[in-house]
Amino acid sequence: MQALLLCAAMAGGSALPHGAAAADASQGMDVRLEVRSRCVLSSASAAVDLSFGTHISFGGEPTDAPIDGQAAVQLTCDSAMDWSVYADLGQNAAGSAQRQLLDSTSGALLAYGLYADAGRSQPLGSTPAGALSGSGTGAEQTLLLYGRIPTGTRLPAAGSYRDTVVLTFWF
């Protein structure tokens, strides 16, 4: 039985026309992987608040000390990934270059500043040119932002003063 099968295979192979052969074709294939650096705001799902606390206004007398506040934003960026953040002027700037808290009941405004350092000497810019910059570590980093209402500010009438500032991160 084995001999018969072998003969049949040989006979079938010789049935091909002389000079005919199996065709080969080849083509190169690119293989790629793109790995991108990334940053994730850990606090993106929760509100980030900067509070100046509660203060008493004594008939519009100027404050004898600054009123300070701070906020924390958690950021995780790949190791050595450069990042920057800036804050717009807020919803109450009304064309001025000054961030302002607004009491929606009275319409009174109160100027304040945002800073990138605890000493409040480095203003946090409202454009990329004035951004705070850093570099990722691969672990979560806490970015502190500081606010100040300066000494000598006359506190307006009692009320609840608010502003909303958009922080823009890029990497």
Give the pLDDT confidence score for residue 10 in this predicted structure.
38
Q: CA 88 to CA 114: how far, in whole Å? A: 10
Those residues whose C-beta lies under 8 Å from the C-beta of residue 50, and which sit 6 or more positions away, are: 69, 70, 71, 114, 145, 147
Give the pLDDT confidence score for residue 86 in this predicted structure.
95
**pLDDT digits 0-9 by tens, 118-149:** 999 999 999 999 999 999 999 999 999 999 99
Helix (H) or strand (E) holding 95: none
> What are the residues facing 123 on neighbouring strands?
115
Contact between 65 and 53 under an 8 Å Cβ cutoff? The reply is: no
Contact between 114 and 167 under an 8 Å Cβ cutoff? The reply is: no
Q: CA 51 to CA 106: how far, in whole Å? A: 20
Q: 147 phi and psi, to 5 degrees?
A: -120, 155
**pLDDT digits 0-9 by tens, 75-123:** 999 998 999 999 999 999 977 789 999 999 999 999 999 999 999 999 9
In order of their start, the domains of the chain are 61-170 (2.60.40.1090)
Give the pLDDT confidence score for residue 42 in this predicted structure.
76
* Residue found by looking up tokens 């691969």 in the block: 138
Give the pLDDT confidence score for residue 46 in this predicted structure.
67
Give the pLDDT confidence score for residue 7 in this predicted structure.
35
Residue 5 has pLDDT above 50, yes or no: no
